[in-house]
Structures are given as C-alpha cells and as structure tokens.
Amino acid sequence: MGSACLILFALSCLIVGSAARPFYPLPSKVAEGERQPLQTSRPYNIAHRGSNGELPEETAAAYVRAIKEGADFIETDILSSKDGVLICFHNVTLDNTTDVAQHKEFANRNRTYVVQGINTTGFFTVDFTLKELKSLRARQSFPYRDQQYNGKFQIITFEEYITIALDATRVVGIYPEIKNPVFINEHVKWPNGKKFEDMFVETLKKYGYKGSYLSDEWKKQPAFIQSFAPTSLVYASNLTDLPKIFLIDEITIPTQDTNQSYWEITSDGYFDFIKNYVVGIGPWKDTVVPVVNNYLQPPTDLVARAHAHNLEVHPYTYRNENMFLHLNFNQDPYEEYEFWIHKMGVDGLFTDFTGSLHNYQEWTSPLSSKDSNETSLLHKIAVMVSSYERV
C-alpha cells in the first residue's frame, strides 16, 4: 500500500507542475462551472456537416459524434422550411439525404425550380412545414459509407444545432452557412419584410453569439458565419461583428448572387474589398492545388495571397476514402493533413472525418523536450498505477 500511495503522490505532483497537455484523460484543471476553452494554437478542426463520414449528415447524432471526436467547430448549412423555421440541411431538395420518396402523402410535392440558374426537380425544403420535415428521416447519401443508421434520425433546426454546441462539456464553436440565400429569399417570406439573413443573425444573437474574431466575447461562444454569396456576407456585417468566411466554389461556377467569376473573386483587388467584411476564405481544395489524373500539380499562390491580405484560409473538404485521396498521399489521410497543414499552411480544414484529423493533430502537436519528458514519465507512472489497480 505504501508504494502505491507514493506512486500516486508522485503522479499528483507531476500533474500540478507540468505545463504539457496530459497524454491521459485527467480531471479538468479549470474551475468548477467553467469549460475547457477553444484551442487557437493550431488549424481548426471543422466537422463538415458533423461527423458525416460515419453518420448521416447534419443530424444531432453526427454533431454529437464530432464533438466527442475532438472537433473545434461543428459546421452546418442553414435553409428554411415553408413556415420560415431555419433548419440544418445541405441540399435545397430532400431527395438524396432523406426518405421523402417513401412518404406517399408527399408525392404531389415534387416541383421544378430554378436554383443558381439551373432547372432543378425534387422535393424542396421550402415546400414543407417544419412538422412535415420532422416526419422524415435522414439517410446516408454516399453508398460506400455506413448505411446502418438510415431512418433513425430527424432533421434538426438551427436552434437545436446551437444547443448541441452549447451543451458540450468544453467550448465548441459553430460554423453555420447562409445557404442558397437567393433561392430562400425568393420562396420564403417573413413578417415585417425581414430577410433570410435577418432571421439567421437574430437566431445567433438569441443564443448569445457575438464579438469580433478572437475577442474575449467570441472565445466564450465561438462562431463563424460562412456563405458563397458575398452580398449576404456584406449584409450580415451590418447586423453582427461575428467573423465571416467567404466560400469559394470551383473554377467554373460563378457567385450565385453577383455572377462573378472565380478569377474575379480571387483577385488581389477583390481580396482588398472583401477583407472589410470577412476574416477568411473557404476555397475548394482542388482549386488551391490543382489536380490532373489524380495527381497534385504545383500549388497556386492563393493561400499566400490570402494571408498577405490578412485573410485566413479554411479549405474544404477532406475525406478518408481512397477515391478522394490523391495518389500523392498513398491512400493515407494523415499524409494529406501533413501536406495541407505543414506545407500549405492553411488555418482550418473542413473534414468529414473529425476523429482522423484530431488524432493526427494530437500525435503531431509540437512539444518541448521538457514537455516530452514529462509526458513520457506520466505514461510510465500510469502504467505502474494500473498494475496496482489490477492486483
């Protein structure tokens, strides 16, 4: 008993004296009632639609899993129901990620609308009330991903999504997108002439989200507002000082609201303009580093130029499946993370596999020699203590 107590005493002293992040889960060092703060010392782990590589996208289960796996931010797309309730859903149509086709009562809801200049046919969120949307169940849209959770989870609202982040045991940021604002404002009307963007920001304010990037207020409840529509970002800038990210689509797709080309919105002149409203850009990664025959080509200067304009760069989307891993990375997602974080120097990554990015960053986080020695000693002591516990 005496030896065990001595070991436990040594362990306690080490924990108190060490500045290193402990290798093992240990009681929180923060005061009771406080939460572990958001890390800001390495690129953000952004859970793209939750942990949607494992669970149906944008569901409560996908967001809870992402938080458990170490996400810094949980990302979502915000659309609207027919009755003006903001929901978490990626596509303007329900066809690919819900069981709507199995609901005979909705068979007459099939419509064709123009979405970003293209005639699109399907079951649109804007033609369903929230109650009707809640009767649907989510499904995994990618056939090569786990299908066992199909039919188990509901569509969630913007407010339900926010509650998931606020209920986490540590500070977890949110990263909602003003999705397809031109289409939503055309088909959904709110009282007093309010727009989609007004309702979006009002929801954030209702739950206490405020503050400029990295301010004390922001760090308490971190949030980025993202959109592919620059006019929505400019409009939202007049409503809140929360940081905003300008999403950039592939080279062939113009902006949905201003019809500007990729080349125009990635020019130095445009960066000089948009930096007055946003703190960063979110480009598709294959436009940052072009790909030919599944091999990376020499990188563009997009990251360097964005940084020169004091804009962060959060590319999308990182996926573990071999079909998404370019041959340079030898079917190894960790090699891809190594390239983008340490060679390209990006500031955040949208990933479908939050746990993989978190594990990579934990295993490669730089530690001083002093910290490494302490972590190694902590490991040895934990092993010794566990042997006594088994006896």
Yes or no: say if 344 and 289 are a contact pair by the CB < 8 Å rule.
Answer: yes
> How many whole angstroms separate alpha carbon 298 and alpha carbon 293?
14
What phi, psi does 322 have (nearest 5°)?
-55, -35
Identity of residue 254: P
Yes or no: say if 237 and 277 are a contact pair by the CB < 8 Å rule.
Answer: yes
> How many whole angstroms separate alpha carbon 355 and alpha carbon 231?
34
Yes or no: say if 174 and 222 are a contact pair by the CB < 8 Å rule.
Answer: yes
Give the pLDDT band (50/70/90) at residue 365: confident
pLDDT exceeds 70 at position 239 = yes
Distance of CA 203 to the CA centre of its chain: 18
Yes or no: say if 242 and 197 are a contact pair by the CB < 8 Å rule.
Answer: no
Tokens of 386: 């566990």
pLDDT exceeds 90 at position 390 = no
> How many whole angstroms separate alpha carbon 91 and alpha carbon 79?
8
Identity of residue 247: L
Mutual orientation of helices 158-166 and 60-68 as an angle, nearest 10°?
20
Yes or no: say if 126 and 187 are a contact pair by the CB < 8 Å rule.
Answer: yes
Mean pLDDT of 134-151: 97
Residue 266 vs residues 25, 151, 202, 320: alpha-carbon distances, Å = 43, 41, 30, 28
pLDDT exceeds 90 at position 373 = no
**Prediction pTM value:** 0.87
The pLDDT > 90 percentage for the chain reads: 84
Mean pLDDT of 179-185: 98
Residue whose structure tokens are 């960053």: 361
pLDDT exceeds 90 at position 232 = yes
pLDDT in tens, 288-340: 999 999 999 999 999 999 999 999 999 999 999 999 999 999 999 999 999 99
User: pLDDT value at position 175?
Assistant: 99
Residue 306 vs residues 168, 215, 259, 270, 275: alpha-carbon distances, Å = 33, 22, 21, 11, 9
